Structure 1
Amino acid sequence: MTEYILAFVEILKEFSYFGLMLALTFEFVPAELVLPLAGYWVYQGDMSYWPAVLAGTVGGTFGPLTLYALGRYGGRPFILKYGKYLFIREHQVEKADLFFQKYGAGVAFFARFLPGVRTLISIPCGLAKMNVWLFSIYTFCATLPITAVYIYLGYTFGPHYKQAAAAAEDYSPFIIAGIVVLLGIYIAIKNKWSYSFGK
């Protein structure tokens, strides 16, 4: 499956940065595969680093918008009935839904860094009819550093870019720890505002 996806992305390379952006708008295409490959293209001199990061970030923002739209306009019955054709399972939706209910709109940012919910969190955001502009801004801001890191690792590993995903996992505990701290701050501020306005 991985080889087919990489072959598909190689075809899109013909469209340069637009092709990279387009590849990442498909949610079935893992960014962990595509972005290190883009880093290898930077290594080869076929692309420049920051334009590639921007293209990857924009594509990584458009992709979640498709799932957001499914949640917002299709509704839960549609997701549960047809989600299986998009490799979406009911228990995954429930997990993401609970995460959204617990932490609110901020999960559109924080959940992007957490395995298991980062892709499907778009669905409960859509179900809750979260403001689409706020959703897009949160998604863009979360996708930017992830994109920059994976492309940089792909550039660093060069011909061995496929090892970049494994290398990124070595940093995952530190990233998750940082996200937990930020999430704690976010919850504290959110609760303080709720308490203030509740008076």
Structure 2
Amino acid sequence: MIDQLETTILNALQFIYEELGWLGVTLVMVIENATGLTPSEVVLGFAGWMLIEAHNLPFSTVFLGGLFAAIGSVIGASLMYWAARLGGRPVVQRAAKIFRIDTRHIQRVEGMAEKYGVGFIFFGRLLPGIRTLVAIPAGLTGLSYPIFAAATFIGSYIWCTIFIGAGYFLGHEWHILSGIVKQAAPYALATAVIAGMGFLIWQLWMKKKAVPVKIEID
């Protein structure tokens, strides 16, 4: 079942996609990543069906669509990153009130970012519920923008391509993606935490390995 909110979103998406095509997907993903207001699984799944499957285009179009969506994701996430970096916590708190973002979610994301470092920026882009928030701790801590942008693009491209492809394969049933994401979210979070811990252990091991050994000669 599609609720009233998703119906409203779909009507808007249909108009945007009909007028702008894949540039419309880029535009919507900018908004989604800068505000967190639009569910990306709906945006991308609908694009996979309407812009590819419904037009009988080849499956390879999915990878091109993922590129357009990932570019929009980076632009939107960059807006959030620079707002946090230049405006600091007061701007973040003000934006959270405007867009009705639970500050507890932001605090949780900050804690995970502090614990797992830059690896969390990549893995965080693959986590439903917090993927649009990872730009905030990156900006607050002054993480290098090129590193942030690269991690965001790679993670976003994977996420976007998967859901566009799912929309392509599911066809008219693409809307079930929303329910699947909600059910899979806890497992995705657990997987990401384990992966993040592995990344952290690998970093510590590499640093330890790089420490030169001093040899004293009598």
Q: How many positions carry a matched residue from both structures?
A: 199
Aligned equivalent of 2:12, options 8, 11, 20: 8
- Partner Cα distance (1:9, 1:69) in 2: 27
**1:177, distance to aligned residue in structure 2 (A):** 6.0
User: 1:10-65 deviations in whole A, cap 9, x for unaligned?
Assistant: 22211111111111101222211111101112111176322212111211222211
Aligned equivalent of 1:17, options 18, 22, 30: 22
Structure 1 equivalent of residue 215 of structure 2: none
Secondary structure in 1 aligned to 2:31?
coil
Is the 1:109–1:139 contact (alpha carbons within 8 Å) kept by the matching residues of 2? yes
Structure 2 equivalent of residue 52 of structure 1: 65
Q: Does 1:43 align with 2:53?
A: yes
Is the 1:80–1:89 contact (alpha carbons within 8 Å) kept by the matching residues of 2? no
Is the 1:150–1:165 contact (alpha carbons within 8 Å) kept by the matching residues of 2? no
- Partner Cα distance (1:168, 1:86) in 2: 22
Aligned equivalent of 1:80, options 93, 99, 105: 93
- Partner Cα distance (1:176, 1:86) in 2: 23
1:92/1:167 CA distance change after superposition, 3 Å: closer
Amino acid corresponding to residue 28 of structure 2 in structure 1: A
Secondary structure in 2 aligned to 1:113?
coil
**1:198, distance to aligned residue in structure 2 (A):** 6.7
- Partner Cα distance (2:199, 2:107) in 1: 23
Amino acid corresponding to residue 12 of structure 1 in structure 2: I
- Partner Cα distance (1:160, 1:120) in 2: 29
**TM-score normalised according to structure 2 size:** 0.81
- Partner Cα distance (2:209, 2:148) in 1: 25
Is the 1:17–1:51 contact (alpha carbons within 8 Å) kept by the matching residues of 2? no
Rg bigger for which structure? 2
**TM-score normalised according to structure 1 size:** 0.88
Structure 2 equivalent of residue 95 of structure 1: 108
Amino acid corresponding to residue 55 of structure 2 in structure 1: G
Aligned equivalent of 2:166, options 153, 157, 167: 153
RMSD: 2.3
**1:192, distance to aligned residue in structure 2 (A):** 2.1
User: 1:64-90 deviations in whole A, cap 9, x for unaligned?
Assistant: 112112211110022113421022232
Amino acid corresponding to residue 37 of structure 1 in structure 2: F
Is the 1:75–1:127 contact (alpha carbons within 8 Å) kept by the matching residues of 2? yes
Higher helix share: 1
